[in-house]
């Protein structure tokens, strides 16, 4: 059989369109698999990397953090996967820095620790919304210390349990507020926190209340409501549980201002942002930090939780995908759409 030809949507330099052309066929190293991609998803970090070249260590490069497809090759030491398995995976062009680790290609290297078998009843295009959101959500919920890959990032110490396939652990009695539960990261934090037995009070646009509830939120409030802060504070107090803090998926000045008002009214807590929260003049009972979506702590979640939870419906492919097109040529357009902003969806390109 002839060797397949890989192709990729290459980024040659910052602030330029992607160029589709041949790429070396990657080889799986120890602990890695090569995935033949059937679908890839777009995340905001991709257009940030395209525009500004942030995190890029080698030019030209290949971007993209989410793949779904079939295992093409299995590296040494990997016993969870076989050639032909249907999988989803979080591909890591950063921090690894190798173009072969970018999703925007026909073949991508993925660490076996960041991949999960995909149940047969779920399509690649639905499931590809899951992996990078899982990485982000687990890092937001469960990481306690700054990761080794980005020294100096002040990781929020939410220190909550990992999600579990067993039923809700009602004895946990903890409450988390998720600001932006219709965002990809916010929806996944809501799902995984709920699966760890934590009660989520969510904030989203009123048109997305159903989505937040599907993700497991106990109550949802409209981010445009002028009384949002008072309503969230009352809802948290009514639960009479241990208030952990806020995961803010949006992390802009307007949301940070409200986060801090909520935390002050509730006697303090943690604020985990997707961008750096303000650190000036904070009361000592408020602890803030920015998540960094890459950690070894996620490995047991991909290994022990994702497949079974997708199988049982405990983990849903939310927010749902919006299909942009079929072929690597559509990725550039998808990046522009992502930069323009989406609501309660993740942009997906089929390959
Ligand atoms: N630090 C890290 O490691 C890390 C990891 C992942 C993502 N991120 C960053 O996290 C951010 C979110 O990423 P994502 O993929 O979750 O985003 P996304 O899915 O593209 O977010 C879209 C959602 O944002 C909501 N939104 C926009 N403006 C809002 C506002 N003013 N108030 C409340 N909600 C608002 C919209 O909600 P409605 O339509 O309901 O109004 C929409 O559903 C991005 O900036 C991304 O770069 C950082």
pLDDT at 142: 86
144: pLDDT strictly greater than 70: no
* Torsional class of 37: left (φ above 0), alpha (ψ -120 to 50), beta (otherwise): beta
Q: Which residue has the higher pLDDT, 143 or 229?
A: 229
Residue pLDDT, tens place only, 272-328: 999 989 988 999 999 888 888 988 889 999 999 999 999 999 999 999 999 999 999
Question: How far is residue 154's CA from residue 106's CA, in Å, rounded to a whole number?
Answer: 35
Q: What is the pLDDT of residues 169-209, one digit of tens each?
A: 555 789 999 999 999 999 999 999 999 999 999 999 999 99
Tell me the pLDDT band of 160, cut-offs 50, 70 and 90.
Answer: confident
The pLDDT-based confidence of 152 (bands split at 50, 70, 90) is: very low
Q: pLDDT band at 7, cuts 50/70/90?
A: very high
Instruction: Indicate whether residue 129 lines ligand 1 (CB < 6 A).
Output: no
Does the beta carbon of 292 sit less than 6 angstroms from any atom of ligand 1?
Answer: yes
Whole-number pLDDT of residue 23: 98
> For a substitution probing ligand 1, which of 180, 339, 345 has the most ligand atoms within 8 Å of its CB?
180
111 lines ligand 1 (CB under 6 A): no
Domains of the chain: 6-129+320-350 (3.90.180.10), 134-290 (3.40.50.720)
How high is the pLDDT of residue 36? 98
* DSSP letters spanning 119-157: PTTS-HHHHTTSHHHHHHHHHHHH--S--TTSTT-----
- With a cut of 80, say whether residue 150 has pLDDT above it: no
Distance 222 CA to ligand 1 centre (A): 15
Q: In the predicted model, what is the mean pLDDT of residues 106-134?
A: 98
pLDDT of residue 3: 83
205 CB under 6 A from ligand 1? yes
Rounded to whole angstroms, what are the CA distances from 160 to 182, 193, 196, 244? 21, 8, 8, 9
pLDDT in tens, 46-104: 999 999 999 999 999 999 999 999 999 999 999 999 999 999 999 999 888 899 999 99
Q: Tell me the CA–centroid distance for residue 275 and ligand 1, in Å.
A: 10
Contact 346, 44 (CB under 8 A): no
Q: What is the pLDDT of residues 126-137, one digit of tens each?
A: 999 999 999 999
Mean pLDDT of the chain, nearest integer? 93
319: left (phi over 0), alpha (psi -120 to 50) or beta: beta
> Smallest Cα–Cα separation from 278: which of 263, 295, 294, 293?
263
On the question of pLDDT at 148 being above 90, the answer is no
């Amino acid at each position: 059989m002839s060797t397949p030809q890989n192709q990729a949507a290459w980024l040659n330099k910052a602030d330029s369109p992607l160029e589709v052309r041949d790429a070396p066929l990657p080889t799986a190293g120890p602990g890695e698999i090569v995935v033949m991609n059937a679908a890839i998803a777009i995340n905001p970090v991709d257009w940030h990397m395209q525009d500004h070249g942030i995190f890029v260590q080698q030019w030209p490069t290949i971007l993209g953090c989410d793949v779904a497809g079939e295992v093409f090759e299995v590296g040494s030491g990997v016993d969870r996967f076989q050639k032909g398995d249907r999988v989803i995976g979080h591909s890591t062009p950063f921090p690894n820095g190798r173009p072969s680790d970018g999703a925007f290609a026909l073949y991508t290297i993925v660490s076996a620790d960041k991949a999960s078998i995909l149940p047969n009843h779920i399509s690649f295009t639905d499931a590809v919304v899951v992996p990078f959101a899982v990485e982000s959500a687990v890092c937001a919920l469960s990481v306690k210390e700054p990761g080794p890959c980005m020294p100096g990032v002040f990781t929020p110490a939410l220190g909550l349990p990992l999600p579990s396939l067993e039923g809700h652990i009602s004895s946990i009695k903890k409450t988390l507020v998720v600001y932006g539960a219709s965002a990809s990261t916010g929806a996944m934090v809501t799902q995984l926190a709920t699966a760890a037995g934590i009660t989520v009070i969510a904030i989203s646009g009123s048109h997305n209340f159903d989505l937040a509830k599907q993700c497991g939120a106990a109550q949802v409030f409209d981010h445009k409501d002028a009384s949002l802060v008072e309503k969230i504070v009352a809802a948290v107090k009514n639960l009479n549980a241990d208030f952990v803090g806020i995961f803010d998926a949006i992390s802009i000045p307007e949301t940070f201002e409200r986060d801090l008002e909520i935390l002050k009214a509730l006697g303090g807590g943690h604020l985990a942002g997707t961008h750096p929260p303000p650190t000036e003049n904070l009361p000592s009972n408020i602890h803030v930090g920015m998540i960094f979506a890459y950690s070894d702590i996620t490995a047991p979640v991909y290994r022990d939780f994702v497949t079974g939870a997708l199988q049982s419906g405990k983990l849903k492919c939310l927010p749902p995908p919006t299909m942009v097109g079929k072929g690597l040529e559509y990725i550039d357009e998808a990046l522009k759409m992502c930069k323009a902003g989406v609501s309660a969806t993740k942009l997906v390109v089929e390959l």
